[in-house]
Structure 1
Amino acid sequence: MIIRVGIVFVAATVWWLVLYHVFAPPGEYTRSAHVTRAVGAAVFTVPMVLLARKLLDRRSLDGLGFSSVAGGCRAFLVGAALWGIPAWSAMALMLWLGWADVTVLEPFSRTLPALLGLLVLVLLYEAVSEELIFRGYFFANLNEHWSTASTVVGQAALFTGWGVLIGAAGSLGRALLFFTFSLVLGVLRAATGNIMTCMGFHAAFQVTTQFLANNWNYVDLHDPDLSIQGLAFVLLPFLTAPLAMWWWHKNRRPIPAPN
């Protein structure tokens, strides 16, 4: 198991470094570089994980956490809601209280296509690619040998280490964000058994935070105390999502055994 996980971890790390430094060299943000990295990540990750599962693990793809199309769509929406409802509600409250300000810079006819375009990029680059590797492949392999709690922590450690190695978690604060984010995603994966829940949560977080950042310039967020970026987008949903999963499990009715 360690060798198989190590092979996929090294392959993912090397490929992301290639995406960062060869296909789209780092520097000032450009849309073309974002598209190149997003497409490159998905084109490499999907076949890599599927082949690793078949050839290295010799296991079925079911262990990656997929379900039917309808079930997957529902799980994706649940994941998006687990992040979006507390985050967007808190943001609305903070804007009403005057803790932060949002200025719309472009008309709706231009903002909506840009938002949908970002959603596609996030799905390709982060929500699908990263979840397939960490909450899909790594979670499945670790969970075959470890307890669920150890698996959740283990995949979070791998995700954080990967973020450090590729330069995405280059500070202590970023490393802590990576670790806590992946812990929450691991809890969602363990609680629902469906990787699409993780993809929905991941997509909602990334689309919102990236669209309000400086690189897109359709909406300007003035958040001097980081009330929205810290409390509404991170602390609150990262706490409420695991609590919601705990409440759901506690109140779920057991399926009666057949006679």
Structure 2
Amino acid sequence: METPTADRPTRAAVSAGILLVFAAATGWWMLLIDGVGAVTGTEYTRGAHIVRAVGATLFVIPLIALMLRFPVRLRWSDLGLTGWRLGGKQLVSGAACWAVPALLTLAVLVGAGWAELSVQAPTAEIVGALLGLTALVLLYEAIPEELVFRGYFFAILAGRFVPVWAAVGQAALFTAWGALIGAAISVDRIVLFALFATLLGALRVVTGSLWSCMGFHTAFQVTAQFFSGAWTQMELHDPDLTVTAVAFVAVPFASTAVLLWWQRRSRRGSAVVAEATSAASAAVAAEAELPGKR
């Protein structure tokens, strides 16, 4: 039988925290999706997107702030949040993990004639649309979802389990949440949610930063939504979605997984070298202190 300590939350506290936040997030997103849709209609509108985005962030931040006090006491830093200056660098780094391989792959596939990319608006309008969409993605997906899943759920699970299992646990919760709110209702969407959440969990484990997860999430969502048809400034003609699957999912997900594996392996190697060096130094110092040594 495991004995709870001051640093290790009880199973009851962990379960209560997960159930409360999961229920609150699921109920609120259902309200944002169905409630706003009942007023604006089922078709996409910019106004509905703005209401949902603002509503998501304004609900989640106070929710997490409250849950940091009970039933498990946590700090914002426990969620993987650092200062703004370092956080900004980590945000960009996380975005680059997805954007660099994804956009390079897209350019190669379009150049090879596998898909057609057409510009439908002036550069200034495209830039403005991308900035607006980025703000909406941050407010509706990247900030609230990362705070809940790779932030709170990961932290509370990591208080009882090793980081790998905490990453798996939050991925399962994210996939179940996506199914409940109607965002993952087909097999391919469920698989995508599971892969996406697992990769973000790995990013959280290796980097220790929630900002990097937000960056990766933002880059993926902005690009995917920009070419989904609701934004008409640019059009990617990819009828069977092969190019989208390869450029937006397969290549950037695989390359990021490899990069994270390499970083983790390098850190382990550095730790071994540092430990060996420390042991050798200690041995030399001990020998020098022996009687008769000068």
Q: Which residue of 2 aligns with 1:21?
A: 34
Alpha-carbon contact 1:24-1:37 (below 8 Å) kept: no
SS of the counterpart of 2:25?
helix
Structure 2: state its 5+ residue gaps. Answer: 1-13, 283-294
Q: Which residue of 1 aligns with 2:252?
A: 237
Q: Which residue of 2 aligns with 1:194?
A: 209
Give the stretch that moved more between structures: 103-112 or 34-43.
103-112
Deviation sequence 1:33-69 (CA, Å, 0-9, x none)? 0000000000000110111012332222221011122
Alpha-carbon contact 1:24-1:36 (below 8 Å) kept: no
| Distance in 2 of aligned mates of 1:227 and 1:78 | 27
Give the stretch that moved more between structures: 85-94 or 22-31.
22-31
Q: 71, 77, 80: which is aligned to 2:92?
A: 77
Alpha-carbon shift at residue 140 of structure 1 (Å): 0.3
How many residue pairs align between the two structures? 259
Q: Counterpart amino acid of 1:76?
A: L
> 1:165 aligned to 2:180?
yes
| Distance in 2 of aligned mates of 1:183 and 1:128 | 17
TM-score, reference length from structure 2: 0.85
> 1:95 aligned to 2:110?
yes
Q: Which residue of 1 aligns with 2:153?
A: 138
SS of the counterpart of 1:128?
helix
Give the stretch that moved more between structures: 216-225 or 1-10.
216-225
TM-score, reference length from structure 1: 0.96
Deviation sequence 1:146-178 (CA, Å, 0-9, x none)? 122211111111000000000011111111110
| Distance in 2 of aligned mates of 1:69 and 1:110 | 29
Q: Which residue of 1 aligns with 2:287?
A: none
Alignment of 1:1-259 (within 5 A): 1-25=14-38, 27-252=42-267, 253-254=270-271, 256=274
Structure 1: state its 5+ residue gaps. Answer: none
Identical aligned residues as a percent: 44
Q: Counterpart amino acid of 1:213?
A: S
Alpha-carbon shift at residue 226 of structure 1 (Å): 2.0
Q: Counterpart amino acid of 1:14?
A: G
SS of the counterpart of 1:22?
helix
Alpha-carbon contact 1:94-1:227 (below 8 Å) kept: no
Deviation sequence 1:107-130 (CA, Å, 0-9, x none)? 112111111000000000001010
| Distance in 1 of aligned mates of 2:262 and 2:86 | 21
Structure 1 runs of 4+ with >4 Å offset: 255-259
Alpha-carbon shift at residue 246 of structure 1 (Å): 1.3
Larger radius of gyration: 2
Alpha-carbon shift at residue 251 of structure 1 (Å): 2.4
SS of the counterpart of 1:220?
strand
